Amino acid sequence: MLTKTAPGPWGLPLSGHIMHFHRDVLRLLLQSVAKYGDVVRFRLGPHVVHLVNHPDHAAHVLHGNHQNYDRATRSVASIRRICGESLLTTSGEIWRRQRRLVQPAFHQRVIANFAVTITDAAAALLDGAWREAARTGATLDASAHISRLALVIAGRALFGAEVSDADAAQIDRALGVILHQTFRRLGRIIDPPLWLPTRENRALLGAIAAVDGIVERILARRHAQGQAGGGSDLLALLLQARDPETGDTLSDQQLRNETVTLLLAGHETTATAIQWTLLLLAQNPAVAFRLRQELDAVLGDRIPKFDDLARLPFLNAVLNESLRLYPPIWIIERRAIDDDTIGGYRIPAGSSVVVCPFTLHRHPASWQQPEAFQPERFLNRQVNERNAYLPFGSGPHTCVGVHFALLEARLIVAMICQGFTLHLAGDTPPVQPDPGITLRLRSGLHLRLKENTGRHGSPQEHR
């Protein structure tokens, strides 16, 4: 069968769709798939990009024919400036070697041991600043609190290290700069080299230096403790790891790259997922009420444990539905190594192919009322989630930290909803998605809290 060029929106002669990309990329993608179908062609300057938006097309790129799609893309090259050659930025044999080293530390049996680490850190936050905000009626910047909590947990669970409040604030600010600027650079025809002393370059290099300084202190402490410091965290595993063929250990640069990658992927994405979930619960009091009923019935007043999560199906459904509507990793880019055909359209070698979970999770053939927040759909198993639901990717490059991220998010959301009823602060602008490397909340999440007392009470408490 003859293939043809995929359709797409009109673009300017030289810049293509860059202006629309910068103006509102989510709106551009949603409108394009609604008008042109499941394969849409865009042009960012000289770069050709195909958005594939059918579950079968996504599975083809990420799983069935993944050998033809590598990470030699502009987005990964931009991320490599921060993470170096790491699990997040490599392909082929280098990636397989790194994955073999890291995978054992993220097995579900190992991750279960971190449940107490997560709940201890969450309890300290909720019993302190959150209870005080509920008592005084003050507006709480939940985004900042959750981000710092996730960083504290990442430090303890992944690296066996305490992250101070000052370091947490510094990393959060630095990651905000890194994520924002890295994404902005992708929408330019020419990306100025970092050695040019522009204002943006100075800010980006300063942010990278801030993260590096904290990572170097973590690594220095562990080296001073001995080979692995006697720890059971991921850094201990990496310090002990040896290449089975050469016997080589990871260099300091490789350790740095993987540590920065895990700070980025293990803290930023989980914190963002929790924030979106809290927003949706504050906007949907009937869902929050049902969730609190389940938590009261299973947990009462005690702190949740790992084994409790299997008995909290609605909690799991709430988080899954939040990840459907607002997946932190909202776009996945690959490069076609050889010519391919998807949906009857030609995919030329060297062009980029994009899978966008944000649009795929709204595909009307897979989801009824796709814009609605309906956790019940994950109780009823309405769709083939493997292809239509990809918050952690699919295929060999599925996120290595999926079990850790879900454990952390479920436990923290459960503890927050046990303790507090959430209300959006009335004096703040509506929350909008801010698409960068991750899908952050623009302007943060500002809440007013009401401390829960006794059992779940009535639905009116959640209004």
Report pLDDT digits (tens) over 6-59. Answer: 999 988 887 888 888 888 999 999 999 999 999 999 998 888 999 999 999 999
CA 11 to chain centre: 30
Nearest to 320 by CA among 223, 404, 242, 389: 389
Confidence of residue 242 (pLDDT cuts 50, 70, 90): low
Q: Which amino acid is at 340?
A: D
Helix 199-225 / helix 142-159 crossing angle, nearest 10 deg: 40
User: Which H or E run includes 392?
Assistant: none
Q: Which among 94-108, 149-163, 333-347 has the top mean pLDDT?
A: 333-347
Predicted pLDDT at 109: 76
| Whether 450 contacts 312, CB under 8 Å | no
In this structure, what token pair is assigned to residue 308?
A: 């409790």
Share of the chain above pLDDT 70, in %: 89
What's the CA gap between 102 and 239, in Å, rounded? Answer: 11
Give residue for tokens 């609604």: 34
| Whether 239 contacts 226, CB under 8 Å | no
Predicted pLDDT at 2: 57
Res. 461: pLDDT tops 60: no
Confidence of residue 228 (pLDDT cuts 50, 70, 90): very low
Helix intervals (H) in 226-350: 234-240, 252-263, 269-283, 285-299, 313-325
34-50 in b/e burial notation, b at 16+ Cβ within 10 A?
eebebbbbbbbbebbbb
Helix (H/G/I), strand (E/B), else coil: 365:
coil
What's the CA gap between 385 and 431, in Å, rounded? Answer: 27
What's the CA gap between 74 and 352, in Å, rounded? Answer: 9
The average pLDDT across 276-292 equals 97
pLDDT, the chain, mean: 85
pTM of the model: 0.90
Q: Which residues pair with 70 in a beta bridge?
A: 335
Task: Enumerate domains of the chain plus CATH numbers.
Answer: 18-462 (1.10.630.10)
Predicted pLDDT at 194: 75
Give residue-wise pLDDT tens across range 85-128. 877 777 777 777 777 777 776 777 778 888 999 999 999 999 99
In this structure, what token pair is assigned to residue 395?
A: 């295929």
What's the CA gap between 424 and 444, in Å, rounded? Answer: 11
The average pLDDT across 216-234 equals 68
What are the φ/ψ torsions at residue 377 (nearest 5 degrees)?
-65, -25
Burial label, 357 (beta-carbon count in 10 A; 0-12, 13-18, 19+): buried
CA 70 to chain centre: 20
Q: Where are the beta strands (DSSP E) in 28-112?
A: 39-44, 47-52, 69-70
Give residue-wise pLDDT tens across range 371-399. 999 999 999 765 556 689 999 988 888 88
Q: Which among 92-101, 177-186, 299-308, 429-438 has the top mean pLDDT?
A: 299-308
What's the CA gap between 157 and 176, in Å, rounded? Answer: 22
Res. 324: pLDDT tops 60: yes
Predicted pLDDT at 59: 93
Burial label, 385 (beta-carbon count in 10 A; 0-12, 13-18, 19+): middle
User: Which H or E run includes 342?
Assistant: strand 340-342
What's the CA gap between 416 and 425, in Å, rounded? Answer: 17
In this structure, what token pair is assigned to residue 236?
A: 């201990």
